[in-house]
Structure formats: structure tokens, C-alpha cells
């Protein structure tokens, strides 16, 4: 049977300031805040928006339930969501790199339209386009590093719950098959009847 220690350094995050469960709570709170900001900013009632809200509800509900019940399997929803977000950030950086490097006309036109949308129709020249692409890539790189950090904390928390549950189950099974014998229980036992040679 393995041993479980709450104070194990591998179950700490933020340079050892918090345990991984607290870290997941903080990241989940930020996830909820950012998601709500995105929903209110878009304000669209398209099928994509409803699907996005549905995914958010599933991820948030599963993660809250995982924290309350200490169920490692429910953390997979947040883990998978984080992996998909990381893949999206990598895809954006690769796409921008291809547009700039290979002068992809269609992709460049789409990027200019998107930039003009966020810049209130400002005219985008060549220098502005390159600077904007550079800023977007740097922003995606920072977000990617953040998501890697979140993923590491989520996996550590999953291992924490899994190890804690396994150790508890092993302790319970050990107590069932090997009951603890105390000194008082030995004295409480009745003495065997005296040996008789009469037959």
C-alpha cells in the first residue's frame, strides 16, 4: 500500500504558495470570468455561440463537481478544453506565420478585414499589418504559456485526487481484512475452559 502526503511538493503550485486544488479553483474562476466577458462581448445568438455556452457549462459543472467530490475523472473536461485552446493558439500562430512568410493573399485579406473590425475601420498599411501580426503572435505565445501552466496544475490536481482516493480505498480494504487488535481486546477475551482428562 502506498503512502499519501498532502504536503508533497508535486502537489504544490505558484512556487509552492498554494496547493494544486486551490490553483484549480483560481484558474476555474478566471476561466468563468473570461468566458462571461467573451459571451457578453459577442452578444450573438448563433448556433456556434450556443454550442460554446454549452461547452462552458459542461466544463464548469464537471470541474466544480470534481473539486467538491474530489473525483479525478471529472477534471478531464477542463483538461481537454485547455488542450483544445492550446491547439487553437498554436494554429493561429502557424497561420499568421504562413501568411507573412509565404504572402498568402486570401489569408492576408482575411487578416486585414479582421484587424479593421477591431480597429474601427482604420486603414491597414504594410507596416501596420506586420506590427499587428507580431503583437498577435506575442499575445498568443503568452496565452500558450499560461495554458501550459494551467494544464500542469490540472494534471497535478487529477493525480492528487486519484492518489488520495486510491490510498483511502487501500486503507479501508486493509482495515477490513486485517482488523486492528488492541491490548484491551486481548484482555477482554474469555479464557478457554480448563482441560479435562476425564473421558
What tens digit of pLDDT does each residue of 95-114 get? 888 887 777 677 777 777 77
Residue closest to 81 by CA, chosen among 147, 146, 37, 21? 147
Phi, psi of 7 (to 5 degrees): -90, 15
Q: What is the pLDDT of residues 117-172, one digit of tens each?
A: 666 666 777 777 778 888 889 999 999 999 999 999 999 999 999 988 888 777 77
Query: For residue 25, which of 150, 148, 161 has the smallest C-alpha distance?
Result: 150
Residue 18 DSSP symbol: E
Residues with Cβ within 8 Å of 56's Cβ and at least 6 positions away in sequence, in order, are 35, 39
% residues pLDDT > 70 (the chain): 73
CB burial string 25-42: b at 16+ within 10 A, e below = bebbeebeeebeeeeeee
Q: Is the pLDDT of residue 35 over 50?
A: yes
Query: What residues are paired with 18 via a beta bridge?
Result: 13
Q: Report the alpha-carbon angle 176-158-14, nearest 5.
A: 125
pLDDT of residue 39: 76
Q: Which of 28 and 124 is assigned the larger pLDDT?
A: 28
- Per the structure block, which three cell numbers stand in for 139? 499575445
pTM: 0.74
Average per-residue pLDDT for the chain: 78
Amino acid at each position: 500500500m502506498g503512502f499519501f502526503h498532502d504536503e508533497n511538493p508535486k502537489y504544490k503550485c505558484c512556487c509552492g504558495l498554494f496547493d494544486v486544488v486551490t490553483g484549480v479553483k483560481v484558474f476555474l474562476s478566471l476561466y468563468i470570468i473570461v468566458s462571461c466577458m467573451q459571451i457578453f462581448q459577442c452578444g450573438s445568438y448563433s448556433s456556434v455561440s450556443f454550442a460554446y455556452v454549452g461547452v462552458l457549462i459542461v466544463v464548469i459543472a464537471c470541474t466544480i463537481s470534481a473539486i467538491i467530490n474530489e473525483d479525478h475523472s471529472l477534471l478531464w473536461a477542463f483538461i481537454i478544453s485547455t488542450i483544445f485552446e492550446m491547439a487553437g493558439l498554436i494554429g493561429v500562430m502557424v497561420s499568421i506565420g504562413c501568411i507573412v512568410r509565404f504572402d498568402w493573399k486570401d489569408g492576408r485579406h482575411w487578416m486585414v478585414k479582421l484587424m479593421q473590425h477591431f480597429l474601427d475601420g482604420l486603414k491597414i498599411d504594410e507596416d501596420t499589418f506586420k506590427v499587428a501580426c507580431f503583437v498577435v503572435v506575442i499575445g498568443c505565445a503568452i496565452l500558450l504559456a499560461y495554458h501550459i501552466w494551467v494544464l500542469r496544475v490540472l494534471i497535478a490536481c487529477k493525480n492528487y485526487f486519484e492518489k488520495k482516493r486510491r490510498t483511502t480505498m487501500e486503507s479501508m480494504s486493509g482495515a477490513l481484512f486485517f482488523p486492528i487488535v488492541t491490548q484491551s481486546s486481548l484482555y477482554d477475551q474469555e479464557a478457554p475452559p480448563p482441560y479435562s482428562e476425564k473421558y
